[in-house]
Amino acid sequence: MSGLKNNVTVRYVQAEDREDWIRLWLKFIATYDDPKLPKGIENANFDRFIDPQVKMWSAIAFLKDDSTGREKAIGFTDFFIHPSTWQIEDKTYLNDLFVDDDFRVGGVGRKLMEFVYNEADKLGAPSVYWNTDHFNHRAQLLYTKVGYLTEKRIYRRKGY
């Protein structure tokens, strides 16, 4: 897998990427099996990504096949910015990160996170944060390299 990332390009989704993004999204959410996920959320998400009025975005990692010149979508990340009373500038929340099974541990997850960091800087919202399940050790192998673990716990309104 080493060298994989050198053949990978990350870019914002465009309207024609809907099928690729939804294919990867369905694989991503299959691992969570969340009964609260609304029906049709995939298209609602994608509509928002390509709506210039909505400050929520997605980027896809494309792997270039040198022999055919074709590109294959192999991962994605979704993120949005929001204001905070604790700082003047907006913050960036990294909502989702996924790399397709066959392409993991090749630096693609890191590349997607670096894309978000760069865009967050450009958006004036460099403080990027995210959360993960305590048992998601695989993701944390990456997160400890690109970030640090905070002391916070996440609480939620009951019923939500």
- For ligand COA, which stretch binds (CB under 6 A), given 12-20, 33-41, 132-140, 147-155? 132-140
Site string for ligand COA, 28-67 (x = CB under 6 A): x---------------------------------------
Structure-token pair, residue 43: 């298209």
Q: Does 76 bind ligand COA (CB under 6 A)?
A: no
The count of residues interacting with ligand COA (CB under 6 A) is 18
How many helices (H) and strands (E) are present in the chain, helices listed first? 4, 5
How far apart are alpha carbons 69 and 71 in whole angstroms?
Answer: 7
Q: Which of 8, 98, 120, 125 binds ligand COA (CB under 6 A)?
A: 98
Q: Give φ, ψ of 140 to 5 degrees.
A: -70, -20
Q: Verify binding: residue 27, ligand COA, rule CB under 6 A.
A: no
Of these, 99, 116, 125, 128, which contacts ligand COA (CB under 6 A)? 99
DSSP label of 160: -
The CA-based diameter of the chain, rounded to the nearest angstrom, is 53
Q: Which of 10, 13, 97, 120 binds ligand COA (CB under 6 A)?
A: 97
Q: Which of 56, 95, 104, 127 binds ligand COA (CB under 6 A)?
A: 104
Task: Supply the minimum distance, in Å, between the C-beta of residue 88 and ligand COA.
Answer: 28
- The total of other beta-carbon atoms located within 10 Å of residue 140's CB is 15
Q: Does 138 bind ligand COA (CB under 6 A)?
A: yes
How far apart are CB 122 and ligand COA at their closest, in Å?
22
Query: In residues, how long is the chain?
Result: 160
SS3 of 53-90: CCCEEEEEEEEECCCCCCEEEEEEEEEEEEEECCEEEE
